[in-house]
Homo-oligomer: A and B are copies of this chain.
Amino acid sequence: MSKGEQTRQEIVERALALAGEVGLEGVSLGVLAASLNLSKSGLFAHFRSKEALQIDVLQRAIDNFIQDVVVPALRQPRGEPRVRKLFDFYLAWTYGNGRGGSCFFMALTHEYDDRPGPIRDLLVQSQRDWYDTIARAARTAVEEGHFRAGLDLDQFAYEFVGIGMVYQQVAKLLENPQAEERARSAFEMLLARSRS
C-alpha cells in the first residue's frame, strides 16, 4: 500500500471516529486535519470534495458493520442460533460504536432523511441491505423448522430493528442500565412469537 493510500485510510478512519461524536456533517476539514497532524490542504488533496470524503467514511462504516456484525453471525449455524447472534452483535456494535455516540447509521438516518444526495442514497441502500440480511437469517430459521412456516420475514426484521433502536435511546441518552435487559427481554418475546 502506497504512502498516499495509507494516509487516506488513516484520514477516513479518524473521520469516522469524529463523526461518531459530532455527526458526519459536523466533521470539519480543519479539525480533522489537526487531529492527524496534517495541514488542511494536505488532507484535502486526497479527496475531490468534502462530500467525497463523507461517502468514503460512510462506506467504511458500512464495511465495518458487515465485518463486525454480519460476517461473524453468518458463521453461526443456520436458523435461530444465527438470528440470535445477529441480534447480539447488533446490540454490541450499537453500544460500542462511536465511543459513546449512538449507532452511526441511526444518527445518519436523522441527519439525512430529508437531505437528498449520494450520501442519503448510500445510507438507504445500506439500511435496506441490513433489513434484508435479518429477513434472510429469519428465513433460514423457518427452513430449519425453528420458526413457524408462514412467518412474515419483513415484519420480523422490522420489529428486530425497532428493539435495537429503542435500546440505543434508553441506553445512551437516558442512561438507563436496564436498557440491555429490556432489549433482550423484548427480543426473546419476538423469538417466542416467531416459533410456535
| Chain A residues within 8 Å of B, Cβ to Cβ | 21, 23, 25-26, 98, 100-102, 106-107, 109-114, 120, 123-124, 127-128, 131, 154-155, 158-159, 161-163, 165-167, 169-170, 172-174, 178, 182, 185-186, 189, 193
Contacts and interface: CB of A to CB of B under 8 A. Distances in A.
Contacts of A193: 189, 193
14 contacts: A21-B114, A102-B110, A107-B110, A107-B111, A109-B172, A109-B173, A123-B173, A127-B174, A155-B185, A159-B166, A159-B186, A162-B165, A162-B167, A189-B193
Chain A binding surface SS class: helix
Nearest to A182: B158
B158 A166 contact: yes
A161 B154 contact: no
A100 B124 contact: no
Contact of A110 (B106, B114, B131): B106
B158 A165 contact: no
Contacts of A98: 114
Given A25-B26, A106-B110, A155-B186, 5 more contacts: A98-B114, A113-B169, A113-B172, A124-B174, A127-B174
A76 to B, nearest CB: 24
Contacts of A120: 173
Contacts of A167: 162
